[in-house]
Structure 1
Amino acid sequence: MSSPRRQRKHLHHHHYRHDTEAAVSANRIITCYASSSDRVPLPYQQAAYALGREIARRGWVQRNGGGRHGLMGSLTDGGLDAGGAVDAVILDVFTEQNCHPRLERVKVVADMSERKHGLYREADAYIALPGGLGTLEELAEVLSWRQLAFHNKPIVLYNVDGFWDPLICWLERAVALNMVSTDMVSRQLLQCADSAAEVCCLLETHFAAGVVSAEPCHPCSARIATVRPPASTTGPEEAGDGASRPPCKTDPGWLAAADAQHYSVRADWTRLTLAKESER
């Protein structure tokens, strides 16, 4: 990865043939991580709004955390104002007071883990806008999983006003000290762009190359720990006294069942009316 300044200069010279746009836009889901603070400076909100419009203009579906304020709200407004599709994954405790009132497709979940996985699953790309600790947590997770090959989806930093420059410098230093894989640099697992159009051009390039898999793999499916005890010892399914035990959580059968149960998300989108009623 080049330095922030050199990388931005390189991206400014990035060109994309827009006649391929229609061929690579169908049914793409773009997950956006962003601040939901209502105190974010106006230029950042305008940048988020512009990205929402750019995503919609390409016929992609925008997915975010559902907040009504800050960059999250601006993303939604930009997408909907441009006639695009926007859906969200939001915590149940936020549905009445913080859910964006214009959203019609919302998946309500109980905790942050479910929320993160709802944003992760099905997505074709991940964009990190300026944000706080929640945004950093979400970005770190998808970036770590990208390095571990749990998915091969593009990840782009929307570097509004150099917001992500300190993170880029930290990452370059971590790579130089062998604390992060050099693949992060050599394979460009993380990319950076200064404008909404540049962000989307980078994604178009990935999609046109046809290298993005249909479904991401969750670490639960990666079978990292699937080694059973030797036959001479007591296994996870049967105790020494003959009584049955719950399946061990490193057992492949348990992992497959848990993965199927927890991450079948296509069918449980809910039309949210409660938040809209509270606005009237």
Structure 2
Amino acid sequence: MPMKKICVYCGSSPGEGNDYIQAAEGLAKELVARNLGLVYGGASVGVMGAIANAVMQQGGEVIGIIPDALMRKEIGNDHLTELRVVGSMHERKAAMADCSDGFIALPGGMGTLEEIFEILTWAQLGFHHKPCALLNVNGYYNHLITFLDHAVNQGFLRQEHRDLLQVHDTPASLLDSFADYQAPEVTKWIRREEQL
């Protein structure tokens, strides 16, 4: 089944300099060129606002999903194809997951990390079979990638689960990988012989 909508997790801050905003706009351009809709957190500020506005300006589809409590804090974006206001962060994340065919994390803070790791954990547990990736703008996620490899080396993360998180430097290569994605066979449970 072809992909229709991609969920992008990203910061409500713009970050330092213009690189992160430009990366969001570059991803927006690639999404629209491939006729892929954007699902995101519904804010009009920071990297979140940049990607949503860029998709809309190019005639693409944007679904924003935001909890009522964050409508003022994150400044809900009412210039979207659709803005859904939900009751909680849990509802937001579940709704974003349900209507998306893949998940990308642009640079962001704790919220972005929490969102990509939750959806990655769901993939690890077999709750979904959709691709997950980091868009590693200017090496933003390098230290995180090193940490995940360290977790594998220390026996807290299986390599097959580490490999569920793709890492790409450009929107084109990332979305190419999504188009060809085949979910691997993974198991969460440790086999008995590995415990001995």
Give the structure-1-normalised TM-score: 0.62
Superposed CA offset, 1:71-122 (max 9, x none): 1011112211221100111011333560123114011111111111111112
Residues 40 and 70 in structure 1, CA contact (< 8 A), matched pair in contact too: no
The runs of 5 or more residues in structure 1 that have no matched partner are 1-22, 213-280
Q: Which residue is equivalent to 2:110?
A: 133
CA RMSD between the two structures: 1.9
Secondary structure of the corresponding residue to residue 102 of structure 1: coil
Distance 1:56 1:143, change over 3 A: same
- Whichever of the two has the greater Rg, that structure is 1
Within 5 Å, give how 1:23-62 maps onto structure 2: 24=2, 28-62=4-38
Measure the CA separation in 2 of the matches of 1:180 and 1:139: 16
Distance 1:40 1:112, change over 3 A: farther
Measure the CA separation in 2 of the matches of 1:165 and 1:132: 14
Measure the CA separation in 1 of the matches of 2:78 and 2:109: 23
Within 5 Å, give how 1:186-197 maps onto structure 2: 188-197=163-172
Are 1:94 and 2:70 matched, yes or no?
A: yes
Q: Which residue is equivalent to 1:199?
A: 174
Q: How many residues align?
A: 183
Which residue type is aligned with residue 51 of structure 1? L
Q: Which residue is equivalent to 2:133?
A: 156
Q: Which residue is equivalent to 1:74?
A: 50
Secondary structure of the corresponding residue to residue 88 of structure 1: strand
Secondary structure of the corresponding residue to residue 130 of structure 1: coil
Measure the CA separation in 2 of the matches of 1:125 and 1:138: 13
Which residue type is aligned with residue 191 of structure 1? Q
Measure the CA separation in 2 of the matches of 1:165 and 1:149: 26
Picking from 100, 119, 129, the partner of 1:123 is 100
Which residue type is aligned with residue 120 of structure 1? A
> Normalized per residue, which structure has more strand?
2
Secondary structure of the corresponding residue to residue 35 of structure 1: coil
The 10-residue stretch of structure 1 (73-82 or 96-105) with the greater mean CA deviation from structure 2: 96-105
Residues 89 and 106 in structure 1, CA contact (< 8 A), matched pair in contact too: yes
Are 1:110 and 2:87 matched, yes or no?
A: yes
Distance 1:148 1:158, change over 3 A: same
Are 1:166 and 2:155 matched, yes or no?
A: no
Measure the CA separation in 2 of the matches of 1:39 and 1:47: 11
| Dislocated runs of 4+, deviation >6 Å | none
Residues 57 and 82 in structure 1, CA contact (< 8 A), matched pair in contact too: no
Measure the CA separation in 1 of the matches of 2:157 and 2:104: 21
Residues 91 and 108 in structure 1, CA contact (< 8 A), matched pair in contact too: yes
| Identity, % of aligned positions | 34
The runs of 5 or more residues in structure 2 that have no matched partner are 185-196
Residues 126 and 153 in structure 1, CA contact (< 8 A), matched pair in contact too: yes
